[in-house]
Amino acid sequence: MRQNLNLPAGLDGNLWHYRHQGRNAMHRHAELELNLVTAGTGLYLLENRKYEIRRGDLLWLFPAQEHVLVEQSADFGMWIGVFKPKAVARIATDADAKILRQRDPAGEFCRRLPQPALARLEQLFPDIVATQTQPGLFNAGLAYALLNAWEYFEHAADVPVRDVHPAVEKAARIIRHESNLLGLDEIARRAGLSAHRLSRLFKQQTGVALVDFRNRQRVEKFMELYGTGQRRTMLDAALEAGFGSYAQFYRVFKHVTGTPPKSHRRR
C-alpha cells in the first residue's frame, strides 16, 4: 500500500521518536526512511525478508520497499527519520552515500551500531527535533542526521536476516491491513496454502502462532474503537473488532493483556 506521509511543505522530511503502538499496516512511501531502535525488540517484515531487531539496530527502508513492523515488545521504541526524494538527491552527493538516492537497491540494510555511535545519534536526534519551528535550522539538522547515520551504518555489523515465505508475509498483510475478521481457512486460501501448512510456517518463521497474531490484532483494533468508552459500548467495539461474542472477547483480551476487560475500562 502506498502511504502519503503528508510532510510539511517547508521541511525536507521529519524526525520523531516512536513508542509501542498497535496496528501497523504493510506500506511503502516516496520518502527514504531510517529506523534506529532505542528499546525493546521487534520483528520487521521487509517484503519477503525478516529482521529481528533490538536496541542499537539501524534499518534503512527505501521508497519501493513494502514493510511492516509485525511484532514489538511492550517497551519497544525507535527513532524514525523520513527524507523527501529531492532532499536526498541534494544531500547524498558523496560517492559512498549515493546509494541512498535509489528506490530499491540490492543488499541488506539493517546493521547493529556500536554503543558510541548509538549514543551519539540518541543525543543528536532530540537536538534536531527541538528546532522544528525553525525550518532552515531543522533542514540543516536533517541533512546532518542523514549523512551521520549513514556513516555510522557503513562501519557497523550486519543484523542477521532470514527469508520469509511469501504466504507468511501475505497472511500478515491480510490480517493487519485488509481484515482481521476472516477465518483461518479464508486467510490461508488467499495466501495460497492450506490452513495447516500456513499455521506451521507462520509460527516457525515469526515465532508467533497465527491464531495469536490475529487475536492480538483484534485486541488492538478493539482498543482503537473503544477508546475511553465514551462513544460506544465495550461489546459493540469487541464485535466490530472481529470477536464473535463477549465470552470470546473476554477470554482473548485477558490472555493477551493479562487483565480482564473491566480492569482496562477502569484504567
| pLDDT above 70: residue 28 | no
Q: HSE on the CB side for 211, CA within 13 Å?
A: 6
Per-residue pLDDT, 19: 86
CATH assignment, 165-266: 1.10.10.60
What are the φ and ψ backbone dihedral angles of 71, each rounded to 5 degrees? -135, 150
Measured CA distances, 198 to 168, 172, 216 (Å) = 7, 11, 18
Domain ranges of the chain: 13-162, 165-266
Instruction: Please give the average per-residue pLDDT across 199-220, as a whole number.
Output: 84
pLDDT, average across residues 10-27: 75
- Give the least confident one: 6-20, 158-172, 239-253: 158-172
Quote the pLDDT of residue 264: 63
Query: Quick one: CATH architecture of 13-162?
Result: Sandwich (2.60)
List Cβ<8 Å contacts ≥24 apart for 91-99.
Answer: 91/12, 91/143, 91/146, 91/147, 92/146, 92/147, 92/150, 94/147, 96/150, 96/154, 97/147, 97/150
Q: What's the pLDDT score for residue 44?
A: 84
User: What one-character DSSP code corresponds to residue 55?
Assistant: T
What mean pLDDT comes out for the span 176-191?
82
Which of 6-15, 30-39, 215-224, 225-234: highest mean pLDDT?
A: 30-39
pTM assigned to the model: 0.68
Confidence of residue 25 (pLDDT cuts 50, 70, 90): very low
Per-residue pLDDT averaged across 114-121, rounded? 96
Contact 142, 132 (CB under 8 A): no
Distances (CA, A) of 238 to 177, 222, 247: 18, 6, 10
Q: What is the pLDDT of residue 179?
A: 66
Q: Could you read off the pLDDT of 67-111 as tens digits, one per residue?
A: 778 788 889 999 999 999 999 999 999 999 999 999 989 888 999
pLDDT at 3 over 70: no
Give residue 213's pLDDT: 84
C-alpha–C-alpha distance, residues 69 and 83, integer Å: 19
Give 257: exposed, middle or buried? Use CB within 10 Å, 0-12, 13-18, 19+: middle
**Residue 133 DSSP label:** T
The pLDDT of residue 23 is 47
More confident residue, 214 or 12: 12
Position with higher pLDDT, 70 vs 26: 70
State the pLDDT at residue 244.
Answer: 87
